[in-house]
Chains A and B, each alone.
Chain A
Amino acid sequence: MQHTISVIVENDFGVLSRVATLFSGRGFNIDSLSVAPTNEEGLSRMTIVTRGDAQVLEQINKQLYKLIDVLKVLDFTDGSAIEREMALIKVAAEDDARAEVLRIVDIFRAKIIDVTPKSYTIEATGNPLKIDAILELLRPLGLKELVRTGSVAIGRGAKGWNG
């Protein structure tokens, strides 16, 4: 089963490498990983999409906490979070296809951010499933390049991660 977890870490030298080493060394999967600084000085936040059964996920949680640089691990498995991902998609678009691409972009409330006579570049944001869906529709038209950020997630409600 796929899980999304957020990890609050000290923005220290080598911290990304420690987390990555932990996952590879213990045979845990990383489907996607994104990392950037937070609003609090010295802290970064990683969002990791991983997979495994309950026991594996419990070990991932505990092992992450064991790293000295990890302050907090948030497990969003129970749907208590909003999850978003952005994709930049370069798609071939000539003749009739140009209108079709625009229709798809409109339906998914995506944006055209670059245009040439032969292509469109699209910015799409949403739940990862929505990104999968737009890609599904664009693929037959000829995907030339795809960049996905990986998921980021934030808990629902008024409270921040530390209260």
Chain B
Amino acid sequence: MKMNGARIMLECLKKEGVDTIFGYPGGTVINLYDELYSFKEIHHILPRHEQAGTHAADGYARATGRVGVALATSGPGATNTVTAIATAYMDSIPMVIITGQVPTPLIGNDAFQEVDIIGITRPCTKHSFLIRNVKDIALTMKKAFYIARSGRPGPVLVDFPKDVQMAMGEFHYPETVEIRGYKPNLSGHPRQVEKAVAMILDSRRPVLYVGGGAVLGEAAEALTTLARTLSVPVTTTLMGLGAFPECDDLSLGMLGMHGAYCANMAMTHSDLIIAVGARFDDRVTGKLSTFAPHAKIIHIDVDPTSIKKNVRVDLPIVGDVQDVLQKMLIQADKNSEKVAAFIETTATWHADITGWKEKHPLSYHQSSTIIKPQYVIEKLRELSDEDAIISTDVGQHQMWTAQFFKFNKPRTLLTSGGLGTMGFGLPAAMGAQAAFPNRQVITICGDGGVQMNIQEMATLVQNRLPVKIVILNNNFLGMVRQWQELFFDRRYSSTCMELPIDYIKLADAYGAKGFVANKTDEVESVILAGFKEDGPVIMDFRIAREEKVLPMVPAGASLNEMVLNA
């Protein structure tokens, strides 16, 4: 049966199991929208800005593990997606972004709403395609989804000219796809695995250092079993939170710039770091020359470029992290006597760690009047559902959430780690809520970032997406203010928001409900009232204005040079 290119595109999405897309209409996608009008298998959500729509597709992907799909028109529609694409790229999130393009004969002519979006996004996509012929649509989409989700996942952009959408063709979706230049190595080499287990059993002060790759690779279970079998302490990066239960005694919490004292001390004193799906980012290592000076490093990652990029590595293992960890577990089980002896020899290491945990636990000074942001996070944790999904924006509230929420399950924290994109939290929560209409979805934002995509209140209300928006409101761009306080002599250049916003009225204007808490004893009642509402809610917590995120490793300092009280 012949159909037009726009319809073929929708059939491809259906074949890939896509049930929800986030898109914004325009001149060069109007044919796609015309087909969507009667295409019931795909639920389309209209955001109020293409950036937010693309973040929502990203949030959908982070929460589900499936490929998120966003749609935008050519020109400004396409450029509006760029920040969200770069956000997904830095955190390796599987996405397919479809952009309309001017008709192929007009490409390069500076046509109305024409932009070279493939050129613009080349450095922040895993790959991209321009579809020039209606007969190429199916194979291109098959490749796009395969590339997006396999190996180290990432966003793939498909530029789809209007004339190709209108051209007629047959639809045959390929069963399999073969790309000769792209064959991710998923299976960890058995000999490397053997060596890794031997190195662990030889070590005395081992640490598992776990990144977002463990979440993306669905390796949480294997990781938890391995850590418990070998009794090896676990620290995670921001992106790795949830891969290992923070309620476990072996958990050290997050490491790095705002990491726990015990985590950073453990890294500094370790004799063996087992990196799992992590990439030794500068926010994690601090000063590279003094990073983990006594440690040998085993690095497990599906992406060979992550290995030896920033630090020397003694044993690289390229492969799917779940596969490698499972193989390590089998290898450990074969050596159960050695494992038992090993666990005994690490007793002093565990005692050291307990000592660090007790010496400087994550803490704050509670106040009976002024709301402390950490207290709000603790209360949210206490009062939210066990399977609640939390998204954050970027800044102080993000770090307080990472420190105090205590994540136990993968894919329950959605946060922009690599790019650090303000404005991410609200639309990401929107995407997660669209994927899981019956789960509690909470976005924790600052009063700066929440306004970067506040227009999505309309999308939440229109689509009955009951996202709970928590604003830790200090009327400052708090993280930059903190740096200005510590390193720039309190010269608060352009970080005071000055104009306070009435979020109750704002919520009301969108047809949502708003609550405000000004004092410590109002925190619990506001959270309970907010959670009770069936629809989207803003909860505005007026917090201590100059509260800082601590501990802090100043940029360029060593991990053990933490500022604990300032």
Contacts and interface: CB of A to CB of B under 8 A. Distances in A.
Contacts of B122: 14, 17-18, 21
B127 interface: yes
A84 B128 CA distance: 34
A58 B181 contact: no
Interface residues of A, number: 20
B123 A68 contact: no
A18 B182 CA distance: 15
A63 B305 contact: yes
Interface in A44-70: 55, 58-59, 62-63, 65-70
A65 B304 contact: yes
A25 interface: yes
Given A14-B118, A21-B122, A25-B123, A68 B309 contact: no
Contact of B182 (A55, A58, A68): A68
Contacts of B127: 68
A69 to B, nearest CB: 5
A67 B303 CA distance: 12
Given A68-B127, A70-B181, A71-B180, 18 more contacts: A10-B180, A13-B130, A14-B128, A17-B122, A18-B122, A21-B122, A25-B123, A58-B308, A59-B305, A59-B309, A62-B305, A63-B305, A65-B304, A66-B305, A67-B181, A68-B126, A68-B147, A68-B182
Nearest to A71: B181
Contacts of B119: 14, 17
Contacts of A63: 305
Interface string A6-29: 000110011001100100010000
B533 to A, nearest CB: 46
Interface string B203-244: 000000000000000000000000000000000000000000
Contacts of B309: 59
Contacts of A66: 303-305
Contacts of B566: none
A66 B182 CA distance: 8
A9 B303 CA distance: 20
A10 B181 CA distance: 8
Interface string B103-141: 000000000000000110011001110100000000000
B179 interface: yes
Interface string B125-162: 01110100000000000000001000000000000000
A100 B63 CA distance: 75
A13 B133 CA distance: 13
Contact of B308 (A55, A65, A67, A70): A55
Contacts of B130: 13-14
Nearest to B119: A17
Interface string B168-185: 000000000001111000
Q: Report the 5 A-B pairs with minimum CB-CB distance, sorted nearest first.
A: A62-B305, A68-B127, A71-B181, A68-B182, A62-B304
